[in-house]
Amino acid sequence: MVWLGVDLGNARVGLALSDPELTFAYPAGNIHVAGDYFFAIDEVLNIIEDEQVTHVVVGLPLNMDGTEGKSAKKARRWASNLEKRLIAEFGPEAGEWDSSEPSEGALAIPRVSLIDERLTTVSAHRQLFEAQRSSNRHRPVVDQQSAVVILQTALDRAREQ
């Protein structure tokens, strides 16, 4: 089992993967999207297939008061589009993955969920600073570090349940 964390950004989509035991998250790179992160769906689908991802956790950028603004609605739309593409690409009709109980060698269609990502970028910058990365070198890796924070939060919550 491997989970994928996704931090949607206007310039880059940050990615993180879990270890198979679902203990820790680690950076898995960025997808450059040039202003429209809907372009990242194809690459995310490739990663899901290559890494045999069973759960995708997408950051939901809520406002500080917990309400949903324009960015949160766009993230919900992105996650919904990803779910639709997963069903189309890997559903029973595709012959690869089946959403029912998986048989030997088959995987269920990955679950997609959203998790509150307020302050993940702040936390990612702090972690990078504490790792003594200079601030001018944060920008290229902050999106994937944010994805790590998003995914690690989801992994920790799943363990607590």
pLDDT tens for each residue of 55-77 = 999 999 988 888 999 989 999 99
**Domain 2-160's class?**
alpha beta
Distance of CA 91 to the CA centre of its chain: 20
Tokens read off for 141: 């890796």
| CA–CA dist 33, 24 (Å, integer) | 26
Name the residue among 160, 159, 161, 156 with its Cα closest to residue 5. 156
Q: Is the dihedral of CA 18, 15, 68, 152 positive or negative?
A: positive
Q: Is the dihedral of CA 146, 147, 152, 153 positive or negative?
A: positive
The predicted model scores a pTM of 0.82
| CA–CA dist 148, 151 (Å, integer) | 5
How many Å is the Cα radius of gyration of the chain?
Answer: 16
Tokens read off for 131: 């790792």
Q: Kindly state the average pLDDT of the residues 94-115.
A: 63
Range of weakest confidence among 8-12, 22-26, 90-94, 118-122: 118-122
Tell me the percentage of the chain whose pLDDT exceeds 90.
Answer: 55
